């Protein structure tokens, strides 16, 4: 996992860098991630950063979790009565079982060596019928894009700390956590979009121990 001090340094320009990082998908992917009525839902913005999701989404309750003080400080500049920001390690989410209707994770999964652990915890804290929505870079099969991802992106952008997965590996991780995959699409050859749900009857689809 990337050390918090890195984000303390880049927080002032993080939004600008994210727009570059998302390759022209900044607004379109947010619109796709938030393409439903969540106004009466309880939402977790996991690795919320400066508020890409939690400062835009309409919800009954919004919780943003991040490990960086500087990122949370910038997020907090947008005042919302229904928003709570929590400093914490995503591997150790301080939430109870079946607490949220939706969990969003944007441009952050590649920072975690064991993102599968976050998926399993997300499954636990989602209500039955709840969903997780994810957008990030992934591991392309195309040899040219794979070379670009594992050279320029890995070392020039991510400073050598990057954990990316193929589309098939994403499907496997989501399913092993207990989710039913609803959408799993490659975007512009370099990004992955996933939407997966926790079954209403969780007894028939328990995640592997």
Of residues 4, 27, 18, the one with CA closest to residue 161: 4
Three-class DSSP labels, the chain = CCCHHHHHHHHHHHHHHHHHHCCCCHHHHHHHHCCCCCCCCEEEEECCCCCCCCCCCCCCEEEEEECCHHHHHHHCCCCCCCEEEEECCHHHCCCCCCCEEEEEEECCHHHCCCHHHHHHHHHHHEEEEEEEEEEEECCCCCHHHHHHHHHHHHHHHCCCCCCCCCHHHHHHHHHHCCCEEEEEEEECCCEEEEEEECCCCHHHCCCCC
- Residues of the chain with pLDDT > 70: what percent? 93
Residue 77 and residue 165 in one domain? no
Domain containing residue 55: 1-22+30-104+118-135
The answer to the question of residue 124 being in a domain is yes
pLDDT score recorded for residue 209: 40
The answer to the question of residue 46 being in a domain is yes
Residue 98 and residue 11 in one domain? yes
Residue 78 and residue 150 in one domain? no
The answer to the question of residue 198 being in a domain is no
In this model, does residue 169 exceed pLDDT 70?
Answer: yes
Q: What is d(CA 153, CA 21) in angstroms, rounded to the nearest whole number? A: 9
The answer to the question of residue 168 being in a domain is yes
The answer to the question of residue 42 being in a domain is yes
Number of domains forming the structure of the chain = 2
Output the pTM of the full model. Answer: 0.92
Residue 168 and residue 150 in one domain? yes
Q: How confident is the model at residue 9 (pLDDT cuts 50, 70, 90)?
A: confident
The answer to the question of residue 190 being in a domain is no
pLDDT score recorded for residue 194: 98
Residue 49 and residue 125 in one domain? yes
The answer to the question of residue 149 being in a domain is yes
Instruction: List the beta bridge partners of residue 65.
Output: 46, 86
Across all residues in the chain, what is the average pLDDT? 93
Residue 172 and residue 125 in one domain? no
Size of the chain in residues: 209
The answer to the question of residue 202 being in a domain is no
Per-residue pLDDT tens digits for 81-129: 999 999 999 999 999 999 999 999 999 999 999 999 999 999 999 999 9
Give the domain CATH number at 69.
Answer: 3.40.50.150
């Amino acid at each position: 996992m990337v050390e918090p001090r890195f984000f303390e340094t880049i927080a002032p320009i993080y939004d600008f860098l994210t727009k570059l990082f998302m390759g022209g998908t900044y607004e379109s992917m947010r619109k796709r991630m938030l393409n439903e009525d969540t106004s009466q839902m309880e939402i977790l913005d996991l690795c919320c950063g400066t508020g890409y999701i939690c400062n835009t989404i309409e919800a009954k309750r919004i919780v943003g979790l991040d490990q960086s003080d500087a990122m949370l400080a910038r997020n907090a500049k947008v005042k919302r009565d229904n928003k709570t920001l929590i400093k914490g390690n995503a591997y150790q989410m301080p939430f109870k079982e079946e607490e949220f209707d939706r969990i969003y994770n944007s441009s952050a999964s590649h920072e975690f060596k064991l993102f599968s652990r976050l998926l399993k915890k997300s499954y636990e804290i989602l209500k039955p019928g709840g969903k997780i929505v994810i957008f990030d870079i992934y591991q392309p099969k195309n040899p040219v894009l794979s070379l670009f991802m594992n050279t320029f992106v890995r070392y020039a952008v991510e400073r050598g700390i990057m954990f990316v997965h193929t589309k098939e590996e994403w499907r496997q991780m989501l399913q092993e956590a207990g989710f039913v995959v609803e959408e799993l699409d490659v975007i512009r050859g370099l990004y992955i979009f996933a939407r997966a749900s926790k079954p209403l009857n969780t007894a028939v689809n328990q995640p592997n121990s």
